[in-house]
Amino acid sequence: MLAGGHGTRLGSLTKVVNKHLLPAFRQPLIYYPIVALRDAGITDIVISLGEHEPGRFFELLGNGEELGVNLSWHYHGEARGIAYAINSARRKLGDEPFACHLGDNIFMDGIEKFVDTFKKNNSHCMIVVQRKPR
């Protein structure tokens, strides 16, 4: 899971708090993708962080036990984009297939159908896009 973005479009809200830790409804934004992965059967999650607030992420999420997952942490440092963050974290994942979920994305209907399709088709890569509501 990538959680290293600055959230600059949110302006002053993210000058003090990382966007992934901001409340969305009644819980921090990052809870939603973690729960989506868990509900899709993915419980070993590496959270890749940039240079901002790694201590607050760990303070909030710890090892993931409270959310029913096993969290580990990867620090990729300076924000250089999604491809860089994935490649940097990939070394920690080994040769196993993996899902990459952005830590600030919420799929209201979950991601189970995407994970099931990926597994059923023995895919090498799958990109999920969602139309932006007008």
**pLDDT (0 to 100) of residue 41:** 96
26 or 16: whose pLDDT is higher?
Answer: 26
Domain ranges of the chain: 8-120
pLDDT digit string, tens, across residues 48-86? 988 766 788 899 999 999 999 999 998 887 778 888 888
Report whether pLDDT(7) > 90: no
**DSSP notation for 27-90:** EETTHHHHHHHHHTT--EEEEEEESS-HHHHHHHHTTSGGGTSEEEEEEEES---HHHHHHHHH
Kindly report the CATH number that applies to the domain delimited by 8-120: 3.90.550.10
Supply the pTM of this predicted model. Answer: 0.87
Average pLDDT, the chain: 87
